[in-house]
Chains A and B, each alone.
Chain A
Amino acid sequence: MRKLNVIFPDLGLFPAFVITLVLSIVLQLSGAWITMFLVGVLSSMFVRRHRTAFGVGFFGVFIGWLFIFVYLILTAQALPIADFFIGLLGLGGLGWLVIAISSIIGGLLGGFGGLLGRSIVDLVDELLPNEAGKETKDNNR
């Protein structure tokens, strides 16, 4: 069996980011935040370093969620809703902070998903036959 790093090419930072961003928007429309881990895992396939996987996952989902929020602000009163929510904590008027926190949470979901994905790929590739092992070592270098 071919190693995962062979199946999924290293696309570089920007293409991986774009894929992550698109995936984060599409999967978030399912309403299941846990899928952002999956987005991070998938995005990690297209980069090779852990820190890059985290960064791509984080910023991809962060920006993806921000896009959704912008849409919701324009069409579905997301800002008053955020204001209402933070008002429950006695911080009325800081709705933007809720949106920022939410987006950061999304980013962390994607980022940690990326880290996890990268670790899984590395371990799986390590376990695969030697023929592919050389390639993996090269990639990890």
Chain B
Amino acid sequence: MLMKRKVLNLGLSFIGPIALIVILTMPIGPLAGGLQILQPWGGIFDVGKGIQHGGNETIALPDMLSGAEVIVDEWGIPHIYGDTLEDTFMALGYMHARDRLFQMVMQTYLASGRICEVIGGADYAINSDKYQRAIGLVKAAEETYQWYVDNADTNEDVDYSLRATLAHVAGINAFIDTMTSDNTPIEFKILGFTPSHWTPIDSFTWAKYMTWSLSGGVYDLRREFVRNQLGNDSLYADIFPEFYPNTIPIIPEQYNLSLIDYADAPGGYPAMLVPPPSILSENEPIAQISESKLNELLNIVSSNINLLGDSVFVGSNSWAVNGSKTATGQAMLANDPHLSLQAPSLWYEVHLVVLDDDEALNVQGGSLPGTPGILIGHTEHISWGMTNVGADVLDIFVEELNPTDPTQYRYNGDWVDFEVREEVIHVKGRADIHFNVSWSLHGPCIDSVMSTYTSDTETSYPNIAMNWTGLSITHEVLTLGILNRAQDIQDYYDAMYWWDSPPHNFIYADDAGNIALTVAGRFPIRQGYSGNFPVTATNDSVGMISNIPYAFNPRSVNPSQCFLQSANQKSIDPSTYGFTILGAQSPDYRGERIHTYLDGKTGITVNDMMQLQADVLDLTAEKMLPYVLAAWTSSGEVNTTIQTLVDELTGWNYEMEIDIAAPTIWTYLLEEIRYVLFDEIRDADLPATLAQIPIVEWVLSAPIDYYIDDHSTVAIESMDEILVQAMHRTANNLYALGDDPSEWLYGHYHTIFIDHLAGMTYIGGGAHRGSGYTVNVGGGWTVQHGPSRRMVVSYTETPEYYTVYPGGQSQVMFSQHWDDLFELWYAYDPILGHYGYTLEYNYATAIAFTNANDGTMIEYIILFIPRG
């Protein structure tokens, strides 16, 4: 009896432990790691220890050849002094992984269609993985990597870039292999995720994803949808002109290089000197995509996760001035790429030095965690920045399917089999998902994501193929390999030759006084179609038949105006250029503001450059508000409600400052003007916002009576009547916020919010200057895109490099380096008229750096040594 009781006691005693084990290890919602991570040692609390770096550290790595010394400065920025190329890039890989592994994994897994492995099988995650696999980034990355492997023996620059890539990957894996609980990202602990080894394909896939975000997107389908919906080609042509009125293009004076030196298109692709004539719109072949399938596909595309944010906010500013306009007599350069503001930032500042004289390197600037090299920055003699071109380098081809066998399509008179690539999506905690992606000669069929599509009226098979230059073998990493070692403008030309995708404007300045700007990228020459809309091409006479020669890419070098600028406006005036560069164009207001400022100024200082980056003069208000105020005056209407608005706007200097109400009023008013003007668009069940603001300005300034009139009424409205209507609508919005103008202060509503990649926390939350049309750009009420990195370079005797970005070097939200750079970036000094920057430490050797240290410059030092 006693024995039975003791056995029973023992059995009962197991209940508690078993229950606890289950409770502590079972996933609870997003907390896939279970409650076990709450233990004081070995769980989430370890990250607080991991960010402590006292004194010097020594880390032995198996693949390190000779060694590298990494000086981490007061901002957490590593200065890597490696004995060899491999040592420097291995240390870079290690530092990237140590400070940004979660971000690298999220980015690359998302790009690869593997996000379900991290976050599980939610519908949006499965859709995202299917979509990413359907656009084929990994396949393109594999082919690109193989090109490097195949060409390394015959091309020194390729060999250099490949060795840097492999060393970088080895460094990332060295960190993963030695990761402890202290330096495991807290997100992995919460998600219960263990990263696998990094591969070179991962690095190339992330580069492809960036390329996709900056030059991809299925805009042909969107345009097709809008054109069908509008049913009015004249209206369509008006709201989507090839060239916005009054645009100041990026290239003021074209500068061609020699075809003898550069016979091919960028990236070594074939070039054509004389393009075929453009096709007339009435002759353009029309592809048939059913409305239901088009809608379904667009829904899938628009709901996809996009790490870099909405493409309408992707932009940038850059400019360079030569010595004749600066106070120092030397060139200056400024750049601020506008990308998604995320935490951690897309950028990671780093200084890379190779001490080996045979392969000496000294480059500093912004890198992208997961890729080997500096994307924007400077060497000892040259500096460069980037803005997006926005060129259309992606076309949609609707393949004609074999009616008796939908696995075939017609091409050059034959029925050709689709190449089918089986994709297997591994889902955390669930069974794998298998699906196929069909590839035609044009590219992957993006409707593979829908598999066999069946609606009430149709059954269709994948046949919408995407022909995108970014899916070719691309050479971004090779470009950086050359550019990061560039010493003069010739090296810059050589580097730009390899930049084929995504098209970018590369601004340039050097210590010899040169300034330049290259619209770099491979721009396809099309035949038999415009490239604006989906097309059916059953033979190779219709398609991207060649490319613009690199020598003739839009380019300007030391122009007579003594400065260059780009802000995503049209690259070059189409009437002066022999080739067609198709594509989107940003409203020119930022570009015009920069142009006007630089054109009228001499004796430019670093402070002036910084002030221009902080500039919030909104040209949309300067150009259009006078029409509104004049309309109100001429209306003779007596209305104290509206008069309150007018009083606030009268005398306003058009600056989008946070402590006044006028910017709030103008933001609402501009939208309402667009709304009341474009009833033609709204009547087609489309938003008036399809018409960009330069079109609004064109309608008001021309004026265009057809659009000014409200066609829903019998009467014919005048411009004054329409603008007063817009004021009434604006008043309704404003008085909903409050009855007093003190409640309309811009800073109450226009705020900055930088979300964590997994939505676990955020940076910011405060009032934010600027608008979508100011140089210091900040579109929308809650700003989540904008200057992702500010840089100003001044070539004095000792060049000065000022940089800052909205974030911090560390991925750990409890580190001082989580948001210390954001604090600088956000801190606007009204006396100086600009935001804060760091002045880079740019010592050529570790000894020079340590000797110069005043006790505040260096936080700690890491010595990487070979193991065994």
Kindly report which residue of chain B lies nearest to residue A44, judged by CB atoms. Answer: B13
Contact A113 B40 (CB under 8 A): no
Mask for A105-140, Cβ within 8 A of B = 1, else 0? 110110111011011101100100000000000000
Interface residues on B, range: 35 or more
Q: How far is the CB of A133 from chain B (nearest CB, A)?
A: 10
Q: Counting CB contacts under 8 A, is B36 at the interface?
A: yes
Mask for A14-35, Cβ within 8 A of B = 1, else 0? 0000000000000011111110
Contact A84 B814 (CB under 8 A): yes
Q: Which of B6, B14, B42 has the most CB of A within 10 A?
A: B6
Contact A85 B16 (CB under 8 A): no
Cα(A108)–Cα(B46), bound, Å: 22
Q: Counting CB contacts under 8 A, is A50 at the interface?
A: yes
Please name all residues of chain A whose beta carbon is closer than 8 Å to the beta carbon of B237 when the two chains form the complex: none
Please name all residues of chain B whose beta carbon is closer than 8 Å to the beta carbon of A81 when the two chains form the complex: 44-45, 47-48, 186, 814
Q: Which of B40, B45, B814 has the most CB of A within 10 A?
A: B40
Q: How far is the CB of A76 from chain B (nearest CB, A)?
A: 3
Please name all residues of chain B whose beta carbon is closer than 8 Å to the beta carbon of A68 when the two chains form the complex: 40-41
Contact B9 A50 (CB under 8 A): yes
Q: How far is the CB of A28 from chain B (nearest CB, A)?
A: 5
Contact A31 B13 (CB under 8 A): no
Cα(A34)–Cα(B43), bound, Å: 13
Q: How far is the CB of A38 from chain B (nearest CB, A)?
A: 11
Which one of B16, B42, B190 contacts A108 once the chains associate, using CB atoms below 8 Å?
B16
Please name all residues of chain B whose beta carbon is closer than 8 Å to the beta carbon of A65 when the two chains form the complex: 39-40
Q: Counting CB contacts under 8 A, is B286 at the interface?
A: no
Please name all residues of chain B whose beta carbon is closer than 8 Å to the beta carbon of A105 when the two chains form the complex: 20, 24, 35, 38-39
Mask for A65-96, Cβ within 8 A of B = 1, else 0? 10011001001111011101101100000000
Please name all residues of chain A whose beta carbon is closer than 8 Å to the beta carbon of B47 when the two chains form the complex: 81
Contact B48 A123 (CB under 8 A): no
Q: Counting CB contacts under 8 A, is A11 at the interface?
A: no
For the residues of A in contact with B, the DSSP-based class is helix
Please name all residues of chain B whose beta carbon is closer than 8 Å to the beta carbon of A78 when the two chains form the complex: 40, 45, 48
Kindly report which residue of chain A lies nearest to residue B49, judged by CB atoms. Answer: A76
Q: Counting CB contacts under 8 A, is B638 at the interface?
A: no
Kindly report which residue of chain A lies nearest to residue B815, judged by CB atoms. Answer: A77
B808-867: which have CB < 8 Å to A? 813-814
Contact B42 A33 (CB under 8 A): yes
Which one of A31, A69, A112, A122 contacts B181 once the chains associate, using CB atoms below 8 Å?
A31
Contact B814 A72 (CB under 8 A): no
Q: Which of B16, B21, B761 has the most CB of A within 10 A?
A: B16
Please name all residues of chain A whose beta carbon is closer than 8 Å to the beta carbon of B44 when the two chains form the complex: 81, 85
Q: How far is the CB of A96 from chain B (nearest CB, A)?
A: 13
Contact A108 B20 (CB under 8 A): yes
Q: Counting CB contacts under 8 A, is A98 at the interface?
A: yes
Mask for B20-40, Cβ within 8 A of A = 1, else 0? 110010000011000110111
Contact A122 B9 (CB under 8 A): yes
Please name all residues of chain A whose beta carbon is closer than 8 Å to the beta carbon of B9 when the two chains form the complex: 50, 119, 122-123
Contact A32 B42 (CB under 8 A): yes
Q: Counting CB contacts under 8 A, is B260 at the interface?
A: no
Cα(A76)–Cα(B814), bound, Å: 9
Please name all residues of chain B whose beta carbon is closer than 8 Å to the beta carbon of A72 when the two chains form the complex: 40, 45, 48-49
Give 8 closest A-B pairs by Cβ, nearest first: A31-B42, A76-B48, A112-B16, A119-B13, A77-B48, A102-B38, A68-B40, A119-B10
Can you pick out 25 interface pairs between chain A and chain B where the beta carbons lie within 8 Å of each other?
Answer: A28-B40, A31-B41, A33-B24, A33-B36, A65-B40, A68-B40, A72-B49, A75-B49, A76-B48, A77-B48, A78-B40, A78-B48, A81-B45, A81-B48, A85-B44, A88-B31, A108-B16, A108-B20, A112-B13, A112-B16, A112-B17, A119-B10, A122-B9, A123-B3, A126-B2
